[in-house]
Chain A
């Protein structure tokens, strides 16, 4: 029954993903301008945020689980003192609506599936633009499931994961760091790579630069934004006869210098400097020079 439910849910999610709705992105609403690919690109569990409606002020956030059969999505607020902040979102036909809690800011979202001796967890972060939202570090430090991948830190507002950049994640099991743990990275652009955690259970991920040049198209470049794609990090671990698999997904953009030209930038800067150069001339010296020339 659960498998059937999972299959149905997956079919719904995939169909919904094909709809022409902008993909949500943590960090800033600009992220909603970035389109992610909706094809099936991984078997790892995912939590995707989708925006319903075009009006930014009235937009609804719908969380959609993929590749995981969960009964609910847990929403964890950045304000641990908020008694109503932790919510269990019921998954309906189109997904689970995510309301904005009073604390706003960063929200951690997780979905858990347990079958026999296997535990699978999908996790992601959603950002509600909210001035004064609390520092999410304590929210990330809070133990939510047995096996976890936690951003350290997560891109803040006006920032995002981008190709060629290095980002750190903590990998822990029952709150304790997992040392020498293999972490797999997959992207919707088709990359797959493996990393290892260090002595502190921290893994340094280099976001792959895997956007193909021929993919450039105006549809994905609304508001002059660069293209976006999805990434998922996954880690598996066995303990007490159980096999745990946890994934953390987000999206990422092209590298910082895509559609930028540093040489051109330096050129225009030098041009501006040249324009200001006459201001540096000493009038007396110029006058003297003129007098000498006349003489």
Chain B
């Protein structure tokens, strides 16, 4: 029964993503207006608080607010820094970790609404014959530090400084002001408020313009580049901080001689993690991995790559699965057949 419903890991993951898209975008409307206040407010995915129908809030907005309103303000008063000032922040991180402990970075690959939207756009890109633009082993390293910069500056640094009064108050939640999920998820609820740029002050205008331009860029780029925003998302780096503390993980054999000449898993990885093909053991579980499982799906050898929970195999690569999988879709996500031929012909013509 389950095999019929979910013949591949990809189908199962996509089903989870669709369910979670509804929970994270429309959950409040489906489960009750106040659901958002009760689930966690510390979800390890970009579940936007500006979406008035969302079922839960992203950990990043809570973190920015607490750094802005509590930690930063307390630091400014120096002597008044008390334990109870940090308790709310620690509570948020604690609640976040309770979620994260079980699913690790699968929140990025299975739950995040923006991740799902980008994947859907990429699928459209495949259907209309757009080219695939990949990061090579040489240039992917240039992009990777951006997520740490986003975390340090936009999520941790500026909100704290705003709370201390060092920088302008409008910089209290700068990441949210540039996050494409804010615009994408609110538009999905037919709310255009967040698409309208805030013109209250020069900083509002600057952040708004940057956020909208980034949103526009991501929407179009996702037709040709897999998960374009995920690569610079501060939640990717935030989750990477805790990656090794979860029992849910990607596990690759310590050695496998065929890997040297194969590289199919690298092509399947939507985050262009070339290390999955070249590294072994724990080094193969890179900080950018979102536990989508595509590398395990497209590894043509038995149990070379596995997703494990507390040491138990949840999914492992297998030759038979690989053979069945590639009949319908290439590792890069290109569907076999079904491409709208007119658009490709027009491009080539």
The docked-state distance in angstroms from the alpha carbon of A275 to that of B52 is: 30
In the complex, the answer to whether A57 meets B85 with C-beta atoms within 8 Å is yes
In the complex, the answer to whether B209 meets A268 with C-beta atoms within 8 Å is yes
Contacts of A260 in B (CB 8 A): 193, 196-199
The docked-state distance in angstroms from the alpha carbon of A204 to that of B32 is: 19
The docked-state distance in angstroms from the alpha carbon of A272 to that of B216 is: 4
Given A135-B32, A264-B199: A279 and B133 within 8 A (CB)?
yes
In the complex, the answer to whether B80 meets A55 with C-beta atoms within 8 Å is yes
By size class, the interface of chain B is 35 or more
- The residue on A at minimum CB distance from B195 is A265
In the complex, the answer to whether B213 meets A285 with C-beta atoms within 8 Å is no
In the complex, the answer to whether B37 meets A282 with C-beta atoms within 8 Å is no
Contacts of B80 in A (CB 8 A): 55
Q: Which of B28, B85, B95, B220 interacts with A276 by CB under 8 Å? A: B220
Contact digits for A92-135, partner B, Cβ 8 Å, 1 yes 0 no: 00000000000001100000000000000000000000011111
* B311 sits at the interface (CB 8 A): no
Contacts of A280 in B (CB 8 A): 125, 130-131, 220, 223-224
- Secondary structure at the A interface, as helix, strand, loop or mixed, is helix
In the complex, the answer to whether B34 meets A135 with C-beta atoms within 8 Å is yes
* B221 sits at the interface (CB 8 A): yes
Which B residues, 96 to 141, have Cβ-Cβ distances below 8 Å to chain A? 125, 129-131, 133
Q: Which of A56, A156, A268 interacts with B212 by CB under 8 Å? A: A268
* B3 sits at the interface (CB 8 A): no
In the complex, the answer to whether B38 meets A135 with C-beta atoms within 8 Å is yes
In the complex, the answer to whether B40 meets A131 with C-beta atoms within 8 Å is yes
Contacts of B221 in A (CB 8 A): 276, 279
Number of A-B contacts defined by CB within 8 Å: 154
The docked-state distance in angstroms from the alpha carbon of A124 to that of B112 is: 36
* B318 sits at the interface (CB 8 A): no
In the complex, the answer to whether B220 meets A137 with C-beta atoms within 8 Å is no
In the complex, the answer to whether B37 meets A133 with C-beta atoms within 8 Å is yes
Contacts of A133 in B (CB 8 A): 37-38
Q: How far is the CB of B230 from chain A (nearest CB, A)?
A: 15
- The residue on A at minimum CB distance from B86 is A57
* B192 sits at the interface (CB 8 A): yes
In the complex, the answer to whether A257 meets B193 with C-beta atoms within 8 Å is yes
The docked-state distance in angstroms from the alpha carbon of A259 to that of B50 is: 17
Given A222-B169, A275-B216: A265 and B200 within 8 A (CB)?
no
* B36 sits at the interface (CB 8 A): yes
* A212 sits at the interface (CB 8 A): no
In the complex, the answer to whether B204 meets A224 with C-beta atoms within 8 Å is yes
The docked-state distance in angstroms from the alpha carbon of A253 to that of B272 is: 46
Contacts of B334 in A (CB 8 A): none
Q: How far is the CB of A207 from chain B (nearest CB, A)?
A: 15
Contacts of B169 in A (CB 8 A): 222-224
* A219 sits at the interface (CB 8 A): no
- The residue on A at minimum CB distance from B170 is A224
In the complex, the answer to whether B38 meets A257 with C-beta atoms within 8 Å is no
In the complex, the answer to whether A157 meets B196 with C-beta atoms within 8 Å is no
Most chain B C-beta atoms within 10 Å of own C-beta, residue among A56, A275, A276: A276
In the complex, the answer to whether A261 meets B197 with C-beta atoms within 8 Å is yes
- The residue on B at minimum CB distance from A273 is B216
The docked-state distance in angstroms from the alpha carbon of A162 to that of B60 is: 25
Q: Which of A259, A275, A276, A282 interacts with B199 by CB under 8 Å? A: A259
* B30 sits at the interface (CB 8 A): no
State the 9 A-B residue pairs at the shortest beta-carbon distance, nearest first. A272-B216, A272-B213, A276-B220, A268-B212, A260-B196, A269-B216, A272-B217, A262-B196, A273-B216
Which residues of A are at the interface with B, using a C-beta cutoff of 8 A? 29, 55-57, 105-106, 131-137, 153, 156-159, 221-224, 226, 256-257, 259-262, 264-266, 268-277, 279-285, 288
28 contacts between A and B (CB under 8 A): A55-B77, A106-B34, A131-B42, A131-B92, A135-B35, A136-B34, A137-B34, A153-B34, A156-B33, A156-B34, A157-B49, A222-B169, A223-B170, A262-B195, A264-B197, A264-B199, A264-B208, A264-B209, A266-B212, A268-B197, A268-B208, A269-B213, A270-B216, A273-B217, A275-B213, A275-B216, A284-B348, A285-B347
Given A257-B193, A261-B196, A284-B348, 9 more A-B residue pairs with CB atoms under 8 Å apart are A131-B91, A137-B34, A153-B34, A260-B196, A266-B195, A268-B209, A276-B216, A276-B218, A280-B131
Which residues of B are at the interface with A, using a C-beta cutoff of 8 A? 28, 32-38, 40-42, 49-50, 52, 57, 69-70, 73-74, 77, 80, 82, 84-85, 91-92, 95, 125, 129-131, 133, 169-170, 172, 183, 192-193, 195-201, 203-204, 208-209, 212-221, 223-225, 347-348
